[in-house]
Structure 1
Amino acid sequence: MTDTLPASARRPRRDALENRAGILAAARVALAHDPRASIDAIAREAGLTRRALYGHFDDRDALIRELIATGAARFNAIAGTIDHDDARVALARLAAALWREAAEVQVAAAIALDENHLESTGLALAPLRRRVAAIVRSGQDDGVLRTDVPAPTLARLVEETARTVITRMDASSPVASSLAVRAVLSIAGLGWRESEALLAEHPEVLPA
């Protein structure tokens, strides 16, 4: 049977998609400043009324779930591109690459502080977490990362350190990326001189 539905009935209108994207962008800004920002605060950031926002998302949780899903997809894709024989370099590259997604990273970190979404955030970021754990295990096996704590615990410490730096720093700061990378290397067991030498040997991690 011939499909007689008009194109507008078969797919969302372009302006609706743009409005939805605008709401998500506004939510990232609002939540990066306040992890518990209300739907009203998000609507104001988007320049919309609460009613208009509800035309795109059923409730705040639906909006948060989409933010988690879209952000996690980007992070997981980045993690899949990171590979290096030296676990120290792999960790540094991963931290730097994620920081380049500063806006997304900050809102994900903010959402992760909200206990109501810890489980969904953890599930969405499972591929990224597996990559961090694999890098840590490899580094411990090679003797280049600290071995005084088990690999799963060290991987979680790396994650928590990165999240703390992310939520405490202004993403626009010119030194933010550098500090984030150095913090991750430090908790992984590198002294500051070792981190400096590693980054000097691999300038592509933190391009000028």
Structure 2
Amino acid sequence: MSAAPARRRDATANREALLRAAQTLLSTDPYASLDTIAHAAGLSRRAVYGHFSDREALLREVITVGAARFNAIAAATDDPDPGVALSRMAVRLWREASAVRAAANIALDDAHVAHTVVALAPLRRRVRELTAAGVASGAFRGDVPPRLLAFLVEETARATLRELRLTTDDAPAAVARVVLSMVGLSWREQVDLLTAHPEVLAAD
């Protein structure tokens, strides 16, 4: 076997290691340095430049990769009840763990807002669709325009997804309830929905 395929495999493995390290570190520290990320990936700073021109290029790739996963979740999450669909989507996003929090942390930086907005366009469109459907059916609050309500859901969900004090056990229910609260369901209605639809909190 020639050395070229082995080098390509090594390069692919190194790139994946860098992205994993970046996701893990940026989920707790959005300002983690390139040296810190490289060290966590078991690579030198020089090796990083074989894959990314600078830290900004790495951050953009973290956003792109995370967004692709989030958009896939949004596309695959559906239910006749928009409350069920919206809360289940939020829980599935939470289960993406460090990738979610890394992208959410990066998105807080004004320098990356434009890239994040473009990358997450399918997810944001799906949130707007579900919110509009919920308002139209009377399932969601009707005192706020649907597009504004969708924006509030996005911002509240993003803040909740970044919350590291939530444990694995209580996070899914907390994430679902925050989203359901935002769209106007009372705590009793939330309990009823989650009791009637245990699949919302179940691990896929």
Asked if Structure 1 and Structure 2 have the same fold, meaning a TM-score greater than 0.5 normalized by the shorter chain, the answer is yes
Partner of 1:72: 67
> How far apart in 1 are the matches of 2:188 and 2:159?
22
Relative to structure 1, the CA distance from residue 150 to residue 173 in structure 2 (aligned partners, 3 Å threshold; closer, same or farther) is: same
**Maintained 8 Å contact 1:106/1:166:** yes
Task: Supply the AA of the counterpart residue of 2:157.
Answer: A
Match of 1:198 among 177, 185, 193: 193
After superposition, residues 117-128 of structure 1 pair within 5 angstroms as: 117-128=112-123
Task: Supply the AA of the counterpart residue of 1:202.
Answer: H
Alpha-carbon offset, residue 207 of structure 1: 2.3
Alpha-carbon offset, residue 170 of structure 1: 4.3
Task: Supply the AA of the counterpart residue of 1:193.
Answer: R
2:22 aligned with 1:23: no
Alpha-carbon offset, residue 148 of structure 1: 1.2
After superposition, residues 20-99 of structure 1 pair within 5 angstroms as: 20-99=15-94
If the length of structure 1 is used for normalisation, what is the TM-score? Answer: 0.91
RMSD (CA atoms) = 1.9
Alpha-carbon offset, residue 173 of structure 1: 2.7
Relative to structure 1, the CA distance from residue 56 to residue 195 in structure 2 (aligned partners, 3 Å threshold; closer, same or farther) is: same
> How far apart in 2 are the matches of 1:41 and 1:167?
21
After superposition, residues 59-208 of structure 1 pair within 5 angstroms as: 59-170=54-165, 172-207=167-202
**Maintained 8 Å contact 1:39/1:50:** yes
Aligned partner of residue 15 in structure 1, secondary structure: helix
**Maintained 8 Å contact 2:131/2:140:** yes
How many correspondences in the alignment? 203
Partner of 1:3: none
Aligned partner of residue 204 in structure 1, secondary structure: helix
- For CA contacts below 8 A with separation 6 or more, give which structure has more relative contact order: 2
**Maintained 8 Å contact 1:96/1:177:** yes
**Maintained 8 Å contact 1:88/1:144:** yes
If the length of structure 2 is used for normalisation, what is the TM-score? Answer: 0.93
| Range 49-58 or range 195-204, more displaced | 49-58
Q: Identity of paired residues, percent? A: 53
Runs of 4+ in 1 over 4 A off after TM superposition: 6-12
What are structure 2's unaligned runs of at least 5 residues? Answer: none
CA shift digits 1:39-71 (9 cap, x unpaired): 122122222221121222111111111111111
What are structure 1's unaligned runs of at least 5 residues? Answer: 1-5
Aligned partner of residue 33 in structure 1, secondary structure: coil
Relative to structure 1, the CA distance from residue 89 to residue 22 in structure 2 (aligned partners, 3 Å threshold; closer, same or farther) is: same
> How far apart in 2 are the matches of 1:12 and 1:74?
27
**Maintained 8 Å contact 1:36/1:114:** no
